Structure formats: structure tokens, C-alpha cells
Chain A
Amino acid sequence: MNIPFTKHTLANGLDVLVHEDHGVPIVAVNVWYHVGSKNEVPGRTGFAHLFEHLMFEGSQHYDKGYFHPLQEAGASLNGSTNADRTNYWEVVPTNALELALWMESDRMGYLLPALTDAKFENQRDVVLNERRQNYENRPYGLAGMAIVSALYPEDHPYHWLTIGAAADLHAARLEDVRAFFQMYYHPGNASLALAGDIDVSTALALADIYFSEIPGAPPPGPVRVTRPASAADEIRLVLEDRVELPRLYMAWHSPALFSEGDAELDLVGDLLANGKTSRLYRALVYEQRIATEVAASQNSRELGSFFQVVATAAPGRTLGEVDRAIMREIAALVEKGPTEAELERCLAQAEAHFIFRLQTVGGFGGKSDQLNAYNTFLGDPGFFERDLQRYRGASAEVLRQEAARYLVGNRRVVLSVVPRGRLALALDASQPVGVS
């Protein structure tokens, strides 16, 4: 099982990946830039994402909003920024492929001449609204910020979330945009994937026509981490929020994306909280009924991941009870490991998920996005099959060992989110934390 592809690197350093799938007359165009919020500096957080917004506002040869001509051609399009990368995609009817390539190449090569203060100010407002809508005005919306700022030291590139601090967004300047573009937005730091109703030779010829004229530059190089991000002791925090039910977040440092232990912890997350028969759901929600919901996930990232468990207390139940129940289940897993039946179920689910991922050519998580992910992080677009092997190869004993190595009780960040004015509902000895 894999995503068959052809890879060709243009002279300017742009990787071009092509995957044929003639199921529907559409082509996915997908561009990754290897830059995210981890490339930001303290005081200018949120910038990579604000920059992403500007990429839709016009370029030198088409100095108007990018949505109009693409939606007029029947395309869907979007982009997103996370800590490690920024992606842009269009899914176009086959006959509009050149339009999408023209536009993606124009903003890769010629964004700056079209940049104005008015666009910058407008998109800053839009992003501040996005922040208010999705973080400040959403229950538990600020918990993620509290977690990463406690997990990582202040100068660590994962200390802040991609949306950034409101004050930093206000502080951003137009000159910053130019410097950022020159450093990160060029063919040497990008990867282009085309997937769908197209043949390889046409795809490569078109990529060459539109992208090879853009000057290359060497990739900016990896982000250096000056201080390691290891929590030596447990950190207990409490955040007051406009919520009805207290919720507990706990996070541990865990192996980086694609490194040893990463897939295993992903499976541990499934064992703990994927489905009604998972250990935490069954114990906390189904049997003891002390929580209304529980989730566990390995948040895989380039410089280092974190494993997180989140549970909301049922009315009348305490976060202390919830904490003890979670830690009891983790301790049991660390001691005895999963049963063979549990492992079989998790592997069956993991394998099915790999197949589900083969259904769409474009958009977030589609085949073009996956080719670019593997190429950007590993230099190997064909990693799909080996990625699946990482899961298939996991044994009960290895899962036990990885859980034992990383999910250590006293090396975690624990955050209690409690209703305003109800600090007493937090775990004992939690320090109030201010996030906004």
C-alpha cells in the first residue's frame, strides 16, 4: 500500500512531486514551505500565520484577492500554518490546473511588490478576530497556550502557539514581512505536489514553466534549540475560564515526529482513549462515570513532541479523582502492557486509517498533502508504506516500554481549567497561570 509518485527537483531547488489518480477530473495543487511558528522569535509570535494570510491578498502580476479567479474556475482552496510548516492548496477542475500553478508560482516569486500597508492592517485585524473567535471566546480555548508555555522554556520555539500573542500581532511591522519572505519563501524551502487527473510528463513540464524562473536560495537550515525542553519536575497550574465543568490537561515530552517511539506513543494514545473500549474511556466515562469525555494523543512535531491526556470532570466529581483514575490506568499500562487483543484492535484501526487517507487527492490530509509532509520532514515522499510499517511492527512489550519511558508521573505539566472564581476545584498545589 502506498502513494505512487514521481519526484523531480528543479534547478532552483524546488521539489516537484506528482501522483496520478484519474478517478475524478480534478487536480490537487499543494505547496509546503518549511516554515512555521517555530521560526518566529519571542516578541513576534503569530507572524508565520499572519504572513500566510497575506499570501492570499495578491502578488505582483495578479494584485487582487486570490480567491476570486480560483473560485471562478471551480476550485476550492485554503492554507494553514502550524509550528513546523505552512501549506497552501487548491483543488481545481483538470482544465484549471495552469491557473493554479500560475498563481502559486506568482506568490512564491513575486509577493513583495504587491504588499501594502492597507492589506497588512486588514489581515492583522482578521487574524485578531480569528484569535478572539477560536481561542478567547471559546471554552477552554486558552488551555493550549498555558500547556506549551509551561512545557517549553521562554526562548524555545514551541513555547507559543501558532496563533501567537495579541500584543505581538499588534507589534508586527510591514518590514518584518519582507525579511520573512526572503528568508523562508523560495523554491529551496518549498515542495510542490500535484495529485489527481494529470500525467507525470505534463505535470513536470508545467511545473517547470511556472516555477523554474523563480530564483532559488539555500534552505534556511534547522531551528536551533538553545535549551532542552525537559520537565524535571511536575508543574501544576490552574487557569480560570468561562466554563461549567472543570477539565484536566496533562502533558509529557515525547519523541519527535518520525523518531523512535513516536508511532508507539501514537498507538498508546489509541489504547488509552480511542473508542469506548479504550482504557481511559472505559474506566473514567463508562464504568466510574467520573468524567464526561477523555482524549489522549501524541502531538508529533519536528523538534520534539508532547503526549497529552485531557479529561473533563462530570458534575460533582473532582479533578483529583479524575487525575488518580488516569494515573492508575497509565500505571497499569506501564506495568503489564496492552493485551494481545488490545494490540490487535489498535493495529486494525491504525491500518484502516492509513487506507482512509488514500481517499482524497487534495486538501488538508489528502494524498498531495501527505507526499509533501513526508518530503518536507524526511526528504522521502514515498514514506507512506514505511510509515505504516512503524505501526505494524509495534509489539505489546515495546508499547509498554515507551509508555514507561515517557509517561512518568512526576515529569508532566498538569493544568486544571476551572470555572471563574472556583480555584479550589483545581488539583492541589496548582499555581495560577495568566494567559490571554
Chain B
Amino acid sequence: MRAWAKALPWAFVALLILTWQMAISHQPAAILPTPWAVVLGIQELAVKGLLLKYVVASLFRVTWGYVLAAVLAIPFGLFLGWHRRGQVALNPLLQILRPISALAWIPLAILWFGVGDLASIFLIFLASFLPITVTAMNAVGSISSNHLNVGRNFGLSETQLVLKVLFPAVMPQLVVSLRIALGIAWLVVVAAEMIAATSGLGFLIVDARNAGNRYDLVVAGMVLIGLIGLLLDIMMRKLEHLSFLRWAHREE
């Protein structure tokens, strides 16, 4: 990439900040913060120790809910894909549950777990579990029958077939679904914390508004959410380009 192509995204960020600054300065009764006020807001959070506390709280919930979902959904989805009868039996249920946003579960989550970490973790778990399960299930279905037949032809046992053909074949799709699920988990944690928690970046946004319309802190929370979300996505994309998955990008 040429230098200007690399600089272009930053130019747009700068343009946005500039437009933002100009728009605020043309507004007589300034409720909304200027970009600089947001920077000061972040600094204020850091000084008070809230920045670290809230970021850690949100990441803690996402980690637990998401890792738990991945650990359970991958084997579950692969099992359903591998055993046609299991898939036939459970697929309708999965398809009914899937369009129900995890956020719709907030009242039940609070009822069951109270306001706190567990409710948020539960919601993140729900939000990540179904997409990973369904992708894993479908990934097994899309394995080439040629490849399975080759495995059987060479005398592989069922276990060997799973280890040597099924796992490598579904891995690229799994990694993509893990990245997407992490994105969803990050969206959900913010929403969950707005209602079902008393810490975290979602809570920060609601709290800042309620405690005297501190829109500088509201926007500070939004900026932090965006930046951390970006970092998580970059991390997962790195995973997709590990050498043993590279074949998937070159096929067809």
C-alpha cells in the first residue's frame, strides 16, 4: 500500500473530528461536548480510577460469557452437524431461538441472576452461543463428501475421521464465526450493562447521563467502546490468518 492509502483512514477520522468541532462551536447552547471535552472526560475517568475499573468489568463479562459459549457451542454444533438425527431434532428449536435478540432476555436475566456480573455474562453467553452453534453445525454439513469418503477409504475410524477430516475442514468457518460472535458479545455487553449492571462501559454511559447530563462522559464511553471493539476485531482477524488456516482464503 502506498503511503497516502495508509493515511487516508486517518484523514477521515481527522475530518470527522473537525466537523464535530465546527458543528459544536456553531451551536449556541452547547449540551454536546467538543472532541477536546471528550478527551478531558476520558482523562477524568482515568484519574478517578473508573476507566480501568469499567473497561476491566466489561472485558471480564465478555470473556466469561464468550469463552463459555465458545467452549460449549463448538462441540455441540459439531455434534449436531455430524449426527443428522440430532440436527433434525434440534434445528427448529435453534431457528426459533436465534431471532430472539439476547437483549430480549434482559428481564429474565435480572429475575434469575439479579443486577450484576452474572446477568451480563448470561446475556453474552446467549448472544454468542447460538451463532457459533449454528455455524459449527452448518460447517459440518458443508464438508465435501469426497473428503469424508477419502477418510473412510483409507480406513479411518470415526474418531480419526473427526480429528483428521472434520476438524481441519470446519476450522476456517469456526474462526470466522468466533470473530463475529465476539463482535456480537461486545455489542451485547454494553446493552446489558446499561440495565443489568452497576459497572462497566454500558453502565458508564447511562450513569453519566442520569448523573447530571455529563454528555462528555457519555461520548467518552462510546469512544472507548469503539476503540476496544476495534482492537478485539483486529485480534480475531490475526487468528484467521494463521498459517494453518490460510488455505481457506485461497480456495476458489
Binding partners A and B: no
